[in-house]
Amino acid sequence: MTLKMFQSNFYNLPNDERSGMQPQTLRSRSRVQDEDRRRGGSFARVIFLVWPFGSLAFTAYHLRSSWAKNIVWLFVIFFGLTFVISNPKIDANRYNDKLQEMGDHDYTFQTLGHQLYRDTEYVDVLQPLLTFVVSRFTSDYRVLFAAFGLIFGYFYSRNIWYLIDRTSGRFKWYGVTLLIIFTVINGFWNINGFRFWTAAHIFVFGVLHYLETGKAKHLFLTILTVFVHFSFFFPVLVFLLYLAGGNRKHLYFYFFLLTFTFSEASLTQVREYLSFLPSIFEAKVSNYTSDVYEQVLNERKSLLNWYVQYYGAALRYVVLVWLAWIYFQGGAFIREHALAGKLFSFVLLLYALSNLGSLIPSGNRFIVLSNLFAVALIFWYYHSNRQPGWINRIAVLSMPALALYFLISVRIGLDMMGVQMLVGNPVTAIFFRDETPLVDWIR
């Protein structure tokens, strides 16, 4: 048990019980609690082998335990093994098609190498390499998605526990709400779009650790996200711009407010602004900023219910209110916590430029990336605040918007979840394949 974890448990004891303890008693209690945690971890792993979803529920009651994040990591791998491809238009279908193509004996590593950084082929390295390696053993897409879950789940679980490990004491009710929202902003079902969404969690991991430690390896990891999804040249440039400019919260805050009203820009202008990129990115940029691509996205959007179209805006405006509150009322919090001050300035800059980037078709995905950082900051601020007052009023008023965001996010995920995820285990998942998503059982 770490000192921080011990202090957390110690200060949750009643005052009279705590004050009467002798050092030997404290050490004995520490050993007992440490042993209980080890037993809890062993029990959780056994549950996972029998019922992974049950182990996830068990972990929710032991968030402070060191083993908890690994159970979530294992569950994401298991989810990949039970992944359901029910819609031919989703990214997962294209990954499956590529796996079948690479499974052909004529497809070699040299073939893959020739396709990297060519006109219309790969400019992202991780996904095609991973697909190629899996294709040498099997053509079952579920194994590929388990491999996706292995990488996605590691950074997903570590980012969640980065938040948890930097708080102490009991979780406040709204803190739990924010933690849940953080888990669904880029939920584990997003291995469907493995490249972008994995890059998002790697980027969050790298930035948070670099802001805290300043270690070059974390900056290097952040830059490497460009090779997971080429579009991450944008947030990487924003982060480098932040590092060069430093903490300028006043400038970034009013720039952030301004971009909420910015709604007009032509794709022609956007393409001109992106013309500085290396030629290897030219085909991808052209595809993502084409008028045809924009029309396709608009047609898809028109088929969605209103609450699906606007659930993202619900979270966006909750974030706006909280960031404004922190700017005007959270000065002490920012001064007291060096990491919070750095993160606040970076969030404002990234969110402002992401608002502009959302004018590009699919550019709104960077709003999702910004929300990950913003919710992390709000979570820490809420847990650090000792003067509730208006804080709790804002929390209560924001709950309907957060509930809408949570429900729609999970609803999207149900399209890729099967019954095996709920009741199966690693053995049954191998022998029984899900063909029907959970959403079809609910309808």
Give the model's pLDDT for residue 425: 95
Q: Which residues pair with residue 116 across a beta bridge?
A: 122
Q: Is the confidence at residue 400, as pLDDT, over 80?
A: yes
Average pLDDT score over residue span 322-326: 96
- How open is the CA angle 329-331-335, to the nearest 5 degrees? 160
Q: Is the confidence at residue 377, as pLDDT, over 90?
A: yes
Average pLDDT score over residue span 354-365: 79
Alpha helices in 51-140 (DSSP H): 52-59, 68-81, 91-102, 109-115, 126-135
Give the model's pLDDT for residue 9: 42
Tokens 């159970």 belong to 71
Distance of alpha carbon 286 from alpha carbon 360, whole angstroms: 11
Half-sphere exposure (Cβ direction) of 200: Cα atoms closer than 13 Å: 23
Structure token pair of residue 316: 């966006």
Give the model's pLDDT for residue 34: 56
Q: Is the confidence at residue 13, as pLDDT, over 50?
A: no
Structure token pair of residue 280: 């290897």
pLDDT tens-digit series, residues 285-312: 555 545 444 454 444 454 455 566 788 9
Mapping DSSP to helix (H, G, I), strand (E, B) and coil, where does residue 242 land? helix
Distance of alpha carbon 110 from alpha carbon 105, whole angstroms: 12
Tokens 């001064």 belong to 335
pLDDT tens-digit series, residues 98-114: 999 888 777 878 878 77
Residue 337 phi/psi, 5° resolution? Answer: -115, 110
Distance of alpha carbon 362 from alpha carbon 389, whole angstroms: 39
CB-based contacts of 416: which residues, under 8 Å, 6+ apart? 83, 84, 85, 86, 90, 92, 189, 192, 437
pLDDT tens-digit series, residues 57-85: 899 889 989 899 999 999 999 999 999 99
Structure token pair of residue 286: 């052209």
Could you give the percent of the chain with pLDDT greater than 70? 78
Average pLDDT score over residue span 49-61: 93
Q: Which residues pair with residue 122 across a beta bridge?
A: 116
Q: Give one DSSP letter per residue of 156-221, joined into a string.
A: HHHHHHHHHHT--SSPPHHHHHHHHHHHHHT-GGGGGGHHHHHHHHHHHHHHHHHHHH--HHHHHH
Q: Minimum mean pLDDT among 127-136, 139-148, 257-266: which range?
A: 257-266
Query: Quick one: which of 275, 255, 63 has its CA closest to 171?
Result: 63
377 or 123, which is more confident: 377
Q: Minimum mean pLDDT among 2-11, 40-49, 211-220: which range?
A: 2-11
Give the model's pLDDT for residue 36: 53
Buried b (16+ CB within 10 A) or exposed e, 372-399: bbbbbbbbbbbbbbeeeeebeebbeebe
Which of the four pLDDT bands, split at 50, 70 and 90, describes residue 262? Answer: low
- How open is the CA angle 47-50-55, to the nearest 5 degrees? 35
Give the model's pLDDT for residue 221: 97
Measured from the Cβ of residue 171, the count of other Cβ atoms closer than 10 Å reads 16
Which of the four pLDDT bands, split at 50, 70 and 90, describes residue 42? Answer: confident
Cα→Cα distances 99→79, 104, 112, 385, 420, Å:
19, 9, 12, 50, 23
pLDDT tens-digit series, residues 158-175: 999 999 998 888 888 999
Distance of alpha carbon 121 from alpha carbon 401, whole angstroms: 40
Mapping DSSP to helix (H, G, I), strand (E, B) and coil, where does residue 116 land? strand
Average pLDDT score over residue span 428-437: 88
Separation of first and last alpha carbons in the chain: 46
Structure token pair of residue 414: 């149900």
Average pLDDT score over residue span 403-422: 94
Q: Is the confidence at residue 182, as pLDDT, over 50?
A: yes
What's the pTM? 0.84
